[in-house]
Structure 1
């Protein structure tokens, strides 16, 4: 079981409904296609901060990632991250804070709402 988060570069949605719609469009556009696009600079920086804290290696007890490498969920201005359920509360807050510090949007698909940190 995993806990998922989506992070993207772009304007801040005005409400949860707009955030959900934006997430769905970005997921379809950037991850459902045949080919991933080069990752935007801000998203690459975001991933570097995360993997500096928790290395991007195989899943298991010593990592919060449910799926690696994180770059497999990144394309253009968008990244979809899956966290291990056992670490989701602490790690999702960190992910949201890092996203916010870099001017990125963090969306919780389970709650269909933006995360502010």
Structure 2
């Protein structure tokens, strides 16, 4: 089990109720679909920024990465529980600085 964040581009939903519906729609479109869509440039840059701080799990020889699966570019930002607080706060701050919407699945709310 992991602590999951989901990020996307677009207009920031007005409140957490609306974002829940947006998340459900995105989940159905991206996860429950057979169609594979490459990440946008902004999402790829976001992932690169996260990987500047912590390496991808597939390259983690020191067991210091907070990611619970890899390749991170293919995932919804799953974080090991032991590092969830630090990594999710950092990931949310990076998302905000890059104009990316960050949804905390566990808390069912937008971050930050």
TM-score (norm 2): 0.91
Q: Which runs of 4+ in 1 moved over 6 A?
A: none
Q: Could you tell me the TM-score, scaled by structure 1's length? A: 0.88
Q: Deviations over 1:41-78 (max 9, x none)?
A: 110000000111111133673210011111222xxxxx
The match for 1:98 is 94
Q: Structure 2: state its 5+ residue gaps.
A: none
Q: After TM superposition, list the pairs within 5 Å mapping 1:17-28 onto structure 2.
A: 17-28=17-28
Q: Show the 5 A alignment for 1:7-18.
A: 7-18=7-18
Measured in 2, the distance between the counterparts of 1:57 and 1:64 equals 8
RMSD: 1.4
Instruction: Tell me how far apart the structure 2 counterparts of residues 72 and 27 of structure 1 sit (CA, whole Å).
Output: 14
| Partners of 1:61 and 1:84 in 2: CA distance | 11
Question: Matched residue pairs, number?
Answer: 110
Q: In 2, distance between residues paired with 1:82 and 1:38? A: 18
Report which of the two has the higher share of strand.
1
Q: How does 1:1-117 map to 2 (within 5 A)?
A: 1-58=1-58, 61-73=63-75, 80-116=76-112
Deviation track 1:72-103 (CA, whole Å, cap 9, x = no partner) reads 22xxxxxx110000000000000000000110
In structure 1, distance between residues paired with 2:110 and 2:83? 19
Q: Which runs of 5+ in 1 are unaligned?
A: 74-79
